[in-house]
């Protein structure tokens, strides 16, 4: 599996002319922290804390029984896509109790990549509903967990009730190449939307 392409370069190049804020969202334990860490060219900022017995009453560990930490604020990373374009990646915590934080993080974001898990597709509805409520365009990336069922794209689209134009891809959040492809699908979608709006 790939690892984070951490660079010695802390600062953005003087040639960069466009910086874009992208949200990485999804339900609890879907792989957002891993995704941001895999793609970030700088050491990612993480706000992971150990899970306590109190969280067992509200955080569903059915899909990830070995999970011992959880994001309590956000993950942050950076990815330079070209000489002139840099993406700032903001990973949001997945629990519903952080809904206000999700809303705050939407300010200034161009779009969102929703990570989904085929074992718990229903848990993506609240996140997508919140994005739609705030007019935030998004793409969906199904994170391929070991042992998770694989379904045809048409069935996943139907299960998530996605619009025909909403990008749907698969990725492995641990692999930089497939994670990059997922992010690129979102960026291309956002570029297409922007071009259509300016016609």
pLDDT in tens, 61-74: 555 555 455 554 58
Are 63 and 153 spatial neighbours (Cβ–Cβ below 8 Å)?
no
Q: Which residue has the higher pLDDT, 1 or 178?
A: 178
- Alpha-carbon gap, residue 142 to 152, rounded angstroms: 11
Residues 6+ apart with CB under 8 A from 102: 25, 92, 127, 130
pLDDT digits (tens, 9 = 90+) for 106-145: 999 999 999 999 999 999 999 999 999 999 999 999 999 9
- Alpha-carbon gap, residue 108 to 104, rounded angstroms: 9
* 45 DSSP 8-state letter: B
The pLDDT of residue 110 is 96
Mean predicted lDDT score pLDDT of the chain:
84
Residue 59 pLDDT grade (very low, low, confident, very high; cuts 50, 70, 90): very low
State mean pLDDT over 35-54: 75
- pLDDT surpasses 90 at 15: no
pLDDT digits (tens, 9 = 90+) for 163-180: 999 999 999 999 999 999
Are 126 and 73 spatial neighbours (Cβ–Cβ below 8 Å)?
no
- Alpha-carbon gap, residue 62 to 103, rounded angstroms: 27
- pLDDT surpasses 50 at 55: no
The pLDDT of residue 17 is 77
Helix (H, G, I), strand (E, B) or coil at 121: helix
Residue 151 pLDDT grade (very low, low, confident, very high; cuts 50, 70, 90): very high
State mean pLDDT over 20-30: 93
The pLDDT of residue 51 is 44
% of the chain exceeding 90 in pLDDT: 60
Beta partners for residue 125, in sequence order: none
The pLDDT of residue 1 is 42
């Amino acid at each position: 599996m790939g690892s984070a392409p951490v660079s010695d370069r802390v600062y953005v190049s003087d040639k960069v002319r466009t910086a874009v804020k992208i949200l990485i969202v999804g339900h609890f334990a879907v792989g957002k922290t891993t995704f941001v860490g895999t793609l970030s060219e700088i050491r990612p900022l993480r706000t992971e804390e150990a899970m306590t017995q109190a969280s067992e009453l509200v955080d569903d560990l059915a899909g990830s029984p070995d999970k011992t930490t959880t994001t309590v604020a956000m993950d942050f990373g950076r990815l330079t896509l070209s000489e002139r374009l840099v993406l700032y990646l903001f990973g949001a915590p997945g629990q519903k109790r952080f809904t206000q934080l999700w809303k705050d993080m939407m300010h200034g974001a161009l779009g969102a990549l929703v990570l989904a898990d085929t074992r718990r597709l229903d848990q993506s509805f609240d996140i997508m509903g919140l994005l739609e409520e705030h007019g935030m365009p998004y793409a969906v990336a199904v994170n391929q967990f070991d042992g998770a069922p694989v379904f045809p794209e048409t069935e996943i689209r139907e299960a998530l009730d996605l619009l025909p134009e909403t990008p749907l891809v698969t990725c492995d959040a641990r692999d930089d190449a497939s994670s990059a492809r997922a992010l690129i699908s979102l960026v291309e979608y956002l570029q297409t939307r922007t071009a259509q709006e300016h016609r």
